[in-house]
Structure 1
Amino acid sequence: MRQRTTFFHHNDDGVEPADLKITSDSLSGPDLVAIREDKITLDLQELPGELRELLARSSELHLRWESPRRRDATELWPSRVTPGLHVFYTPRSDDKAETGHMCRTLRNTFGVMDCQTPKDSFTKLPKSEFKHSAAYHYYHPLSDLKHFGLYAGQYACGPSDSACAKKFASLDSATSFDFSYDASVDTVKASIMWPRGKQPLSLTAVPGHRLEVGIMTPDAPPYVGPDELGVAGLLVVLGEHQKPNPTLFAFPARHKASRVKFASRFLSPAGLHPSLQLKISSAKPPINDESCSMYAHLTLPRTIFGDRYQLQDDLFLASKNLTALRYMSEPVDLEAPDYVMKLWGSSILLELKPPQPTTDQPWTAEVPLHLRYLAPTPGGYQTISIPYPALFWACEAEQGIKFTNSPFDRPHVGYDSLFSAETLFWHIDPQPERTNLLTNDINVPVLNTEQATWVNAGTTLVVMLGFGWILWKLVWVAQRSGLSSKTPNELLAKKQQ
């Protein structure tokens, strides 16, 4: 196992090298106001047996989880996915996607209950068109990592190791979690991030394993390029360094932070065909490059969906400040109610149309969506939560840049596979206006089970009355025509004449 812990702080929140106490297996110092990331590289033998069995069936597996709580924007980790758990999966053979092993592992690890098999519950990604994408995608609106913390603690902590159990319990406050496996490398990389706040500067290396600690702040070396990010700080490898080593370096960064902010909400009244409004603080692109375009990537649970045909009308899109529908996952059933569907939902990539000429003034775009019929509930209403979309500028990078050289790159976030490998992303920071949660709620009217008895009785009565009225009309018509007074033999004799 190899571990890298990085503290990323503002320039005025640093720590003096003399205040750090370093031994062969530990580092300690004063508390530090920073964002913390723990990144761990594991061999397959170090994983639980259930997970090893799943990876043996997988060509690649990438999990991306984002908290619904808003986090501060940062230059080092600006990329985002919509809040919840995303699974990007490619089986070693397509028949393995028909088994439920993947969903059983998700249920045991994260408490996901509505997954059956990748064939049934996952959407299929266009692998033939985008060579660097996974084959299947699954989404679940997971609000925290509490269940995962309990699961991981059972395997990593001894029965009497309370400190270890407390560490895994702290996952409840994490802002993001990544897990990546690629069969070509045959190792697993996992990373966990905590929000900016007071971080205890106390780390101890696991015996026999490498621990690297970085205390970093943004900086720009003289040679930094337009597509690079520079950092400076202190670097310590426990067991190798007796004192912190000053460091200053730059690396290609495929994901960068834009100064633009956005908020989203459903226009009122929402009805059964709600419109998601995106309020964006500026239409000015991050760089003077005609290749830059703004996009919104929506992850929609199966309770709500977009209509492909509606989003292909150019005049309609222009009226909503949208340019085009660039991608929609398939299939999307336009008629099925929520409670009969097995598929998790759908994802949409829309190109937005900022006003021209571009200015720093706020502007809005609207995305038309449609609600599905939901299962009956007491009270007659259900509240559904829709995660914030991911908004970003996509620009062409300079030729020859290799973003894989970045030690802080975050690939496989869903929408990056819909662009070329040379695309540079400038992320727009979500900033809700009235809450700290990156979700929008809709109160949906449904059948009230408390009144369903009256509905059933009323329906039965109406059907019986209607049937009685039709029967009475048939008898009335028969009497008017004189048919009812004649016997069948008399009618037959009349016909033979």
Structure 2
Amino acid sequence: MRRRSTFLHDPKLEVDPRQLYLSGDRFVIENLRAAREERLTVGLDELPEELCQVLRQSHELHIRWASEDIYDAIPPFVSKISPGLHVFYTPLQRQSGDLLCPLLHKVFSSTLKCRSPLSTFTTPHLRSGRFASTSSLQYHSLLPSLNSLTQYIQRYLCKHSDQQCLHSAPLLNVADTVDIDYDSISHILIFTAHWSRPPAVLYDPLTGRTAENGWSLSVDTSANAEKVEVGVLGNEPPTDPSEISLSGFLTVVGEDDHPKPTLFSFPSRHHALPPSQSQDQRYKVSFLQPTGLHPKMQISFPTASALKPPANKPADSACALHTYLTLPSALFADKYQLSATADTAFMQSHHLTALRAISGETDLEAPDYVVEKWGSNLLVELAVPPPSSSSRKLARSTPPNQVPDSSSRGWNVTIPLHLRYFPPSPTGYSTIDIPNPILFWACTAEEGTKFPVNPFDRVNLGYEGLFGGRTMFYHLDPAPGPDLGAAGRGEEGSGRGKLVQRIRVPVLNMEAWGAEWVEWGTVAVVMLGFLWVVCKLWASGLSVRGEAGPKGVGGRPVEADAREEEEEEEEHEREKKKKK
């Protein structure tokens, strides 16, 4: 096992060297206010057998989890996904992966809507089937807490004598993101956790110290760890717009006798907006009221004039604003309504440019209780106001992804969605929790720019595979809002706001008077209608046969033909008698 601990502090907050020191095979950090990333690289021989069985069936497996709380992102930890559990999976050939869902139930939650990858997972949209950069199957479910994962690690992965492992596992309950990666080429599992800020209270079992709002802990070498690296870094202004520069101290615990200063840069596809733009382009997500059966998701920006491409992008880069939605099975988007052939006036009225990709369950008629798939994803390009909406020249030649708007007070984007039919409820209402979408500027990189895997790269997020290899992503931050944790979802909030929207859906009230007659009444009406149609068809057939009767040659009645034949025979007999 290898361990890498990275602490990324705010450049405005200088780090006192006395906060960092080596004591033998132990690296000690005292009251450090910084973001933190822990990365563990583990071999299959160090994992439980049930985990190994699933991994042996996998060509690649990428699990992503993001908190429902709003958190501050600092480069290079700026890439975002919608809150909840994301699974990107490609099974080996001739493998069904039927062991994956039972493992997800055991590790994360028994309530996950997961039967098997083939029946529950969806197939993501691929730019190229030959050079696909995403997994073949995809899954998502809201998961407010990682309590089950914490208990699984303590029970099956931590040794009873490893106090540091047992006490560190509960920190996952306050993590902002968790990633788990495996591929059949390397045969190693990489576990990564990220905290945007220290927990309110932290206890270190090695030193017995308790810290508040700061990282005070010890990182030491253990018998299981082959290599332990610790970095305390801060951002530096990059010389290349496609790069991120970091400086600080790096230490290999057990090998170095003191923290070593460092300065390095690396290309990155994911970037943050400049501080001034980041503040002005913060967005809020809500649903227009009343929602009804066709709710509209609204994305609101504070000022239209501030909605401009990133100032730190390459000089000749072309940018477009996108949103990536992750919708549960109860909610879906009509791909025909948002397609490229949709009404231009309709798209402009919603401040939309085009639907760029959609995957998952998009059946327009299926009710929610018969849908097996988890839901759907869609990538939508958003329209932005022109640089100067008061200019008549710009108004006459507005680009297709820009909509003239004379208001600089705000900019609202609405995405029309549709609800599926729900089963009856004793209260007459059902609730749906919808994760907030993520927003980013997708910009082209300079010619010749390459993006190799960097030390903090985060790939397989679901949306980056929908763009070319030279695309850079500049992520927008959600605006802090009221904490609806206790009121909205029955959980304790973080005070920073939630990234989940809850809507109420009217359904049949089973407790209402006469509700039990609705089902029987529906059956009776259908049967009566069927009998009425059958009777009408039967009566129509009888009347046609009664009016027409049996037909002979030329459409005449058969009796007429018979009388003519008899008359002809009688005439023939009279002729014979005359001749005699």
**TM-score (ref. length: structure 2):** 0.76
User: Is the 2:329–2:361 Cα contact (8 Å) retained in structure 1?
Assistant: no
Q: Which amino acid aligns with 2:353?
A: T
Could you tell which deviates more after superposition, 68-77 or 123-132?
123-132
Could you tell which deviates more after superposition, 106-115 or 347-356?
106-115
Match of 1:322 among 335, 352, 369: 352
Q: Which amino acid aligns with 2:332?
A: F
Q: Distance in 2 between matches of 1:161 and 1:123?
A: 40
Matched, 1:273 2:299: no
The residue number in structure 2 matching 1:82 is: 82
Matched, 1:308 2:335: yes
User: Is the 2:269–2:471 Cα contact (8 Å) retained in structure 1?
Assistant: yes
User: Is the 1:251–1:405 Cα contact (8 Å) retained in structure 2?
Assistant: no
Taking a change above 3 Å as real, the CA distance of residues 219 and 404 of structure 1, as seen in their structure-2 partners, is same
Q: Which amino acid aligns with 1:342?
A: E
The residue number in structure 2 matching 1:440 is: 501
| 1:330-385 deviation line (CA, Å, top 9, x unaligned) | 44111111112110000000011101126886412110000111222221111211
| 1:393-449 deviation line (CA, Å, top 9, x unaligned) | 011112333322421111111000111111110001112433310011101111222
Match of 1:374 among 412, 422, 433: 422
Identity of aligned residues (%): 40
Taking a change above 3 Å as real, the CA distance of residues 411 and 459 of structure 1, as seen in their structure-2 partners, is closer
The residue number in structure 1 matching 2:515 is: 455
Q: How does 1:39-438 map to 2 (within 5 A)?
A: 39-93=39-93, 95-97=94-96, 99-112=97-110, 113-125=112-124, 126=126, 128=129, 131-159=132-160, 161=162, 163-197=164-198, 198-207=214-223, 208-220=225-237, 224-258=239-273, 259=278, 260-281=281-302, 282-286=306-310, 287=313, 289=316, 291-312=318-339, 313-315=342-344, 316-357=346-387, 362-435=410-483, 436-438=497-499
Instruction: Note the C-alpha offset of 1:151.
Output: 0.8
Q: Distance in 1 between matches of 2:99 and 2:442?
A: 36
Instruction: Note the C-alpha offset of 1:273.
Output: 0.2
Q: Distance in 2 between matches of 1:193 and 1:73?
A: 10
Q: Distance in 2 between matches of 1:332 and 1:470?
A: 32
Could you tell which deviates more after superposition, 23-32 or 292-301?
23-32
Q: 3-state SS of the aligned residue for 2:338?
A: helix
User: Is the 2:47–2:157 Cα contact (8 Å) retained in structure 1?
Assistant: no
| 1:46-89 deviation line (CA, Å, top 9, x unaligned) | 22211111111111111111001110121221000000011111
Q: Which amino acid aligns with 1:376?
A: P
User: Is the 1:283–1:362 Cα contact (8 Å) retained in structure 2?
Assistant: no
| 1:123-174 deviation line (CA, Å, top 9, x unaligned) | 1123616521110100111112111111111122234655432321221111
Q: Distance in 2 between matches of 1:118 and 1:463?
A: 37
Structure 2 gaps of 5+ residues are: 199-213, 390-407, 484-496, 532-558, 560-580
Q: Distance in 1 between matches of 2:472 and 2:143?
A: 29
Q: Distance in 2 between matches of 1:128 and 1:53?
A: 28
Q: Distance in 2 between matches of 1:80 and 1:34?
A: 19
RMSD between superposed Cα atoms in Å: 2.5
The residue number in structure 2 matching 1:480 is: none
Taking a change above 3 Å as real, the CA distance of residues 278 and 88 of structure 1, as seen in their structure-2 partners, is same
Q: Distance in 1 between matches of 2:463 and 2:38?
A: 24
The residue number in structure 2 matching 1:30 is: 30
* Count of matched residue positions in the alignment of Structure 1 and Structure 2: 468
Q: Distance in 1 between matches of 2:157 and 2:530?
A: 73
Taking a change above 3 Å as real, the CA distance of residues 355 and 52 of structure 1, as seen in their structure-2 partners, is same
User: Is the 1:275–1:366 Cα contact (8 Å) retained in structure 2?
Assistant: yes
Q: Which amino acid aligns with 2:295?
A: P
Q: Distance in 1 between matches of 2:365 and 2:184?
A: 39
Could you tell which deviates more after superposition, 344-353 or 454-463?
454-463
Taking a change above 3 Å as real, the CA distance of residues 434 and 461 of structure 1, as seen in their structure-2 partners, is same
User: Is the 2:19–2:31 Cα contact (8 Å) retained in structure 1?
Assistant: no
Q: 3-state SS of the aligned residue for 1:7?
A: strand
User: Is the 2:107–2:148 Cα contact (8 Å) retained in structure 1?
Assistant: yes
| 1:81-126 deviation line (CA, Å, top 9, x unaligned) | 0000111111111x423x5211111111111532011110011123
Structure 1 gaps of 5+ residues are: 472-495
User: Is the 1:140–1:344 Cα contact (8 Å) retained in structure 2?
Assistant: yes
Q: 3-state SS of the aligned residue for 1:96?
A: coil
The residue number in structure 2 matching 1:485 is: none
Q: Distance in 1 between matches of 2:90 and 2:517?
A: 51
User: Is the 1:336–1:372 Cα contact (8 Å) retained in structure 2?
Assistant: yes
Q: 3-state SS of the aligned residue for 2:169?
A: helix
Q: Distance in 1 between matches of 2:231 and 2:335?
A: 47
Taking a change above 3 Å as real, the CA distance of residues 358 and 121 of structure 1, as seen in their structure-2 partners, is farther
| 1:283-322 deviation line (CA, Å, top 9, x unaligned) | 2000354521110000000010000111121412122111
Q: 3-state SS of the aligned residue for 1:193?
A: strand
Q: Which amino acid aligns with 1:327?
A: A
Q: 3-state SS of the aligned residue for 1:215?
A: strand
Q: Distance in 2 between matches of 1:462 and 1:182?
A: 53
Q: Distance in 1 between matches of 2:481 and 2:197?
A: 20
Of Structure 1 and Structure 2, which has the larger fraction of its residues in strand?
Answer: 1
Taking a change above 3 Å as real, the CA distance of residues 162 and 39 of structure 1, as seen in their structure-2 partners, is closer
User: Is the 2:283–2:479 Cα contact (8 Å) retained in structure 1?
Assistant: yes
Q: Distance in 2 between matches of 1:349 and 1:391?
A: 10
Taking a change above 3 Å as real, the CA distance of residues 295 and 458 of structure 1, as seen in their structure-2 partners, is closer
The residue number in structure 1 matching 2:204 is: none
Could you tell which deviates more after superposition, 389-398 or 273-282?
273-282
Q: 3-state SS of the aligned residue for 1:404?
A: coil
User: Is the 1:124–1:135 Cα contact (8 Å) retained in structure 2?
Assistant: yes
Q: Which has the larger radius of gyration?
A: 2
User: Is the 1:33–1:196 Cα contact (8 Å) retained in structure 2?
Assistant: yes
User: Is the 1:24–1:240 Cα contact (8 Å) retained in structure 2?
Assistant: no
Q: 3-state SS of the aligned residue for 1:152?
A: helix
Could you tell which deviates more after superposition, 139-148 or 122-131?
122-131
User: Is the 1:44–1:187 Cα contact (8 Å) retained in structure 2?
Assistant: yes
